[in-house]
Structure 1
Amino acid sequence: MKNTFKLLLATILFSGLWSCEDEQDLMFLTPPASFDILTPDAGTAVELTPGLQNNPALTVTWSAADYDTPTAVTYDVEISKSGNDFETFILAASTSNTNVTWSVSELNAAAGAAGLTPFVEEGLDIRIKSTTGTVDSQPVYSNVVTVLVTTYTTELPKIAVPGNHQGWNPPTAPRLAASGFGQTDYDGYVWLDGGYKFLGPDAAGNFNWGNTDWGDDGSFSGILVETGESDCQATAGYYRVQANTTTLTYSTTVTVWGIVGAATPGGWDNSTALTYNQTSGKWEGVVAMTAGGYKFRANNAWTLNLGGSTESLNYDGPDLILDVAGTYLVKLDLSNPRAYSYELIAQ
């Protein structure tokens, strides 16, 4: 009888403990209450400006998700281009707080990754996903708020110039750059030697055959045609190359570069010639220089001349200034279209 009573008591105690464990588990599995984004209001417009990259651009706040018990909650802020219904999205922030603030550069990068077009006001959907650290935690989502965002890009549009000069390999071909986003006036410097074409990027920015390309119309008079069967042609030399894929025109000007000015042996009247180094892709020369002003120019003439600063050379830019006389290795780099640079290395 005593043994039977002990067995019955153990059974009751075991069942009670099991019930408590079930109730504890169920407490964590209870679905939390919904929660909402509090700010910004739907339709808020945000225009992002390149010169203000570090300024705050947008703050998102939301109410806390209620899990009916104290527990650590992680909030993921997800964004998606409007109309996408979050089929694809960008994780723009993850926090244990109930707010997040993006700087101009951060929001521009996130919205760009979500697919917004630069310089166009487009809708950006925002939602918050909450989760806890428990194994069986199910994500809960806030409402969706749509804001209107105008992004920007500082990357100039580019086309490639594949040809005989580099083995007709688009990924490694020299580039030409347009004057700004949405423009098609491509410009740059390329060593040419025989046939070549112009090739645009695909949607991901890659250059490969199969993308849109342009060749000569067969008259070799500076007229382009899309997917032209005739290659453009040039004898061996270093060229300024210009192409406009809207007006379907192109031109080439052979160039030989030098340095000119009060700081150079030839003064302002005669350029001191530099030599093109095909290995480095730069115009180079050792020049004895005095303190004073100088510039770079092509073909011993002022039609094409560059001034400005070490980091940024511009056509017809202001004189460059040398403070300390001496002998310098001069290197002029025109390989990065519309972002030309140079070095003076004391010898």
Structure 2
Amino acid sequence: MKNIKRFSAITIIGILLLVFNSCDDTSEVFTISTPSAPVLAELGFTDLELDAVNTGNPAVTLNWNEANYGQQVSINYAIQFASDNAFTSPVTAATITGKTAITLSVNEINAAAGNAGLNPFEWKTLYARIVSSIGSQNSEKAISNAIEFNVYPYFNYVFNDYYLVGGGVAPGWNNNSNNPPLFRDASDSNAYYYTGFFNKPGGYDEGRFKILETIGLWQPQWGVTESEGSDDPKTSGSIAGNPGTQSNDPGRFGVPTTGYYTFMINFASKTYTLVPYNATGKTSPASLTVKGTSTADVTMAALAFDGHIWYAKNVRLTPGNIEFVTGAGANWGGSTSFSGVATENGGAVPVIVEDDYDVWFNDLTGRYILIPLNL
């Protein structure tokens, strides 16, 4: 007796649909093998002293063997540098596609060294490697061997500086009138602070201010995302910039009443806060002097608008250190160059490169900033 298998009509239709769908599937599957990493060739030298004059000249040519992905694919290569062989904080200096050699200029190597954390004007080991990938999403990365060489960088000032302008702050709506700077966070170069007096005599348009990037120029400028006229004073919000985020000028920051406030702005997150600050009982020193091995004594002046903000303009500083010394003999200092928070008996502020500086100090918060004028 034959065994007869019976199928329902639904089962037969399902099988036919599966067959038809299989026949219609004309997509191709792209497969690659586990990539073999590029091999970076050693350099023909061990020491590289960078020339601060001829910064466009070629400095280093890197060559490597092509990575292998088991297919004919276009391969992306990222050229990375770091201050340690583990590449704890790698810096990508350049990217290319489909080539296995690149020449980097003096300026590019100097920038990579500075961004990797190497100090200017001292010999230090710099590590290099190649990271391959494929596709627009830089997938399937493969990392080459690391090579090293000693480099002597010149100074590379990698920071941005920002200044107040507006009716609510010291210079008024004058873009070149001893505009106070924002004080940069020493551990986060995207974060800036200003604690001080803001004036709002009355009226909707009073107590307003914006942020400029260059003294004497109206652009680039930063403000709020709301248009002028709809820019109600707020304690926090998003920032906009011309040309940072748009082609037209942004709205204005503003305080609701006259008083002391702490303004914080972050150019990475594009946000700000503006909150009241209790300055009750906060008295300024009778005088303040810049002292140290970097300069002869320089007397600082306090803003007439806000006596807690001190400045000394166009001060020549040489490598060494400075402190802020009050008339009563208190010494204020910190451990970070260019910007930071000074404390009483906090040590000396390091000066790592010679230049003319504008020096600013806030006796409410201890924040200081040294802005080089020629770097």
Structure with higher helix content: 1
TM-score (norm. length: structure 2)? 0.44
